[in-house]
Structure 1
């Protein structure tokens, strides 16, 4: 199903690559203001291409890109390849275990959602998609890979990736999230063909980067309209993606908790608890820091922190049938769907997914302690502590053709920008090696 192609990657020159930590950057949608300002002070940091600023940000990115190419700051690899990308990391609670998420970066055909090859699990915001499409149209340069998932229970491709990692191109000491990132390349035509054959029989679930991927779709559609005689093999038909195996245990999804910044109207804490009790069993608990453990592995269970007091909430099974949103059974079964429907809609009156997505009274926070602190400081009225979404739930929802509530998944760690760039310009993608590796030829 999925067509992938090797790429002639663009990378920082050998001198700069020796200090690659100074030039990589977080993804555009997870960059804090403080992080941005520190990164912008480095004139060669990749953030200048991925999150450009100025009166015309896209034009500024193009100006800088041309300058970097002319000065040799960025150089294109001579041969196309598939780039192995490993991320080593640890998680809170298991500090003695080092995980390693194994994957590879390549170009994948930018399939429309209706083609059912690349599957999404969340909706996008048009303004963010348009920003990404405008930047791509101006620069024809991809600065960070989106994250896609394929499933291979035999783990065939990991053997080739492990071999490539014996001779890495470079690695970070520690990126902004505490992970160590390592890059290597596979340029063996026989091995690359096998990667293509494996992916040709599989669908891909988009884990991260929905806006960037959809930006590629928008740009591709514009180019197709401008050139009706296109062959379908032009480089702008393709998108840079980091592909990992969803069968791997080192693929981690972290929970994203919900902070209620306000309670609509003049709702008191007592009234809020009373309304919740219509749908949930509400049990007071002594210590808020026990909440993650108390709800772990339990369906439709949540922690609530309200006015310095902790509660365990669990939906009354008999009320689940009241969930009337027009979506699939797979989505209705999710903890977060239950939370958004019975708390945000039924208790708080924020009716429907669209209204909830636009409501400014909610914040999405990944750090558990931060949730409690912000309630204690009066920055939020309440915190709902959630379990993580499982990979099985992601797959079932995607295959059902539906999407999850906003901010349902946080795949950890995030990929970084600046580790590998790719071009979709015609004059920077001319090589017989790539065009002879189309699956089925």
Structure 2
């Protein structure tokens, strides 16, 4: 099913950099960078990859000189100057991240970077699990057209419980020093190996050819790569099934990897006209579909205890915690209704209906608060925060009417949704940690 292959990556000249400098040229993915972080990354190093992946807008921008054309100039200038180099031969890049969760548990997630042949979702080779938004895809397409490059990876999952892919690949790095070994300011350790052995490349390709790939993160970038492929096909003089634009750079992780962690993304409700917390509570309690328990406002001072209560509830039924400061209401909501209850859209598959995030978005946000799918996609009344402390702090922000604390969506549920052909609401999963931009670039 999936076609995966090695490639000649573009990377920084790590050999001439020490670990401290190397840690200053990489950056988080573009979609988590706000204006403050963008300024910090610009100051951190004159060749930080953010100048390629999220170049600043300038007042003087025009057709000839803008954030996209500047990104292209920077990339090829750095290649000409030797700041970046093109690998002399194809490689598969093994990437390991060591990190801690909020409870202090240490994990080690391993994956690898390779090229994946692009396929339409209908082909059931690459499977999505979330809905996407139009705005980010338009921006990424302009950047791809200008740079003719994959500047960051699509995060894919594959099912390899027996280790047919992992065995030969990760065995090839055993005892070998990594080409890159850095620790970023968030405390995460990042290691990278370039595996150039063609025998290993063939083993990886053969091991994956009968397995579908699930998009864990990067739906917008994947759909942008499809649009770029179609654009290049239209202007090509002749068809070429193996042209570079027929592939996209991916970061692939075995869904059985013990270091694969999914964290929750909490919801913030704001700007809902006529919002009434007491009425919402009454609707939940009278619907006959929910078990509602008042946890007591003081539990917000014990976030570990709150998380444990929600996780325990989630093992029984789809659950979330609703916090409304105007009423000092902290409500544990468990959905005890069935998948056929009239709170779901008709086209929502059964596997999606079993998810707490789908129940929240379709039954509570849409039908009770009037935040329909268009408003959800436009983020007119919704915000998203990661981390329990951040969600608690969001409750005190002016204009925030409600915060919903969520459990993480297990990988097994994500897999079932993908195989069912369904899609979750946006921001349903948060695979931690993100993969840095600037480790490897793929020229198209």
- TM-score of the superposed pair, with normalisation by structure 1: 0.91
Q: Partners of 2:12 and 2:178 in 1: how far apart?
A: 11
Which of 28, 31, 38 lines up with 1:29 in the alignment? 31
Count of residues in correspondence between the two structures: 420
Equivalent in the alignment of 1:58: 68
Q: Partners of 2:162 and 2:18 in 1: how far apart?
A: 34
Alignment of 1:343-422 (within 5 A): 343-351=364-372, 353-422=373-442
Provide the secondary structure at the position in 1 that maps to 2:28.
Answer: coil
Cα deviation for residue 403 of structure 1 reads 0.7
Cα deviation for residue 162 of structure 1 reads 4.3
CA offsets 1:387-433 (integer angstroms, 9 cap, x no match): 11111111111111121011100001100000111211xxxxxxxxx
In the alignment, is the contact (CA less than 8 A) between 1:146 and 1:212 conserved in 2?
yes
Provide the secondary structure at the position in 1 that maps to 2:161.
Answer: coil
Cα deviation for residue 69 of structure 1 reads 1.1
Q: Does 1:89 align with 2:109?
A: no
From the superposition, tell whether residues 216 and 79 of structure 1 become closer, same or farther in structure 2 (CA, over 3 Å): same
Equivalent in the alignment of 1:155: 163
Deviating 4+ runs (over 4 angstroms) = none
Q: Partners of 1:319 and 1:143 in 2: how far apart?
A: 41
Worse overlay, 167-176 or 126-135: 167-176
Provide the secondary structure at the position in 1 that maps to 2:152.
Answer: coil
In the alignment, is the contact (CA less than 8 A) between 2:10 and 2:84 conserved in 1?
yes
Cα deviation for residue 324 of structure 1 reads 3.2
Equivalent in the alignment of 1:283: 293
Cα deviation for residue 22 of structure 1 reads 0.8
Which of 183, 187, 190 lines up with 1:174 in the alignment? 183
Q: Does 1:221 align with 2:230?
A: yes
Provide the secondary structure at the position in 1 that maps to 2:116.
Answer: strand
From the superposition, tell whether residues 72 and 318 of structure 1 become closer, same or farther in structure 2 (CA, over 3 Å): closer
Equivalent in the alignment of 1:292: 307
Provide the secondary structure at the position in 1 that maps to 2:242.
Answer: coil
Structure 2 residues without counterparts, runs of 5 or longer: none
Worse overlay, 192-201 or 151-160: 151-160
Provide the secondary structure at the position in 1 that maps to 2:227.
Answer: helix
CA offsets 1:51-89 (integer angstroms, 9 cap, x no match): 122321110011111211111110111111111111111
From the superposition, tell whether residues 258 and 63 of structure 1 become closer, same or farther in structure 2 (CA, over 3 Å): same
Equivalent in the alignment of 2:320: 302
From the superposition, tell whether residues 5 and 319 of structure 1 become closer, same or farther in structure 2 (CA, over 3 Å): closer
In the alignment, is the contact (CA less than 8 A) between 2:271 and 2:399 conserved in 1?
no
Q: Partners of 1:282 and 1:198 in 2: how far apart?
A: 47
From the superposition, tell whether residues 151 and 316 of structure 1 become closer, same or farther in structure 2 (CA, over 3 Å): closer
In the alignment, is the contact (CA less than 8 A) between 1:87 and 1:101 conserved in 2?
yes
Q: Partners of 1:166 and 1:181 in 2: how far apart?
A: 17
Which of 78, 83, 87 lines up with 1:68 in the alignment? 78
Equivalent in the alignment of 2:113: 105
In the alignment, is the contact (CA less than 8 A) between 2:344 and 2:359 conserved in 1?
no
Worse overlay, 395-404 or 274-283: 274-283
CA offsets 1:235-289 (integer angstroms, 9 cap, x no match): 1111110000012222111011111124432x33322321222333221113133
Q: Does 1:15 align with 2:16?
A: yes
In the alignment, is the contact (CA less than 8 A) between 1:323 and 1:332 conserved in 2?
no
- TM-score of the superposed pair, with normalisation by structure 2: 0.90
Equivalent in the alignment of 1:333: 354
Q: Does 1:48 align with 2:51?
A: yes
CA offsets 1:3-34 (integer angstroms, 9 cap, x no match): 11111111111213643101000001011222
Provide the secondary structure at the position in 1 that maps to 2:39.
Answer: helix
Q: Partners of 1:374 and 1:359 in 2: how far apart?
A: 16
In the alignment, is the contact (CA less than 8 A) between 2:339 and 2:354 conserved in 1?
no
Q: Partners of 2:367 and 2:340 in 1: how far apart?
A: 12
Q: Partners of 1:300 and 1:174 in 2: how far apart?
A: 37
Q: Does 1:193 align with 2:210?
A: no
Structure 1 residues without counterparts, runs of 5 or longer: 425-441
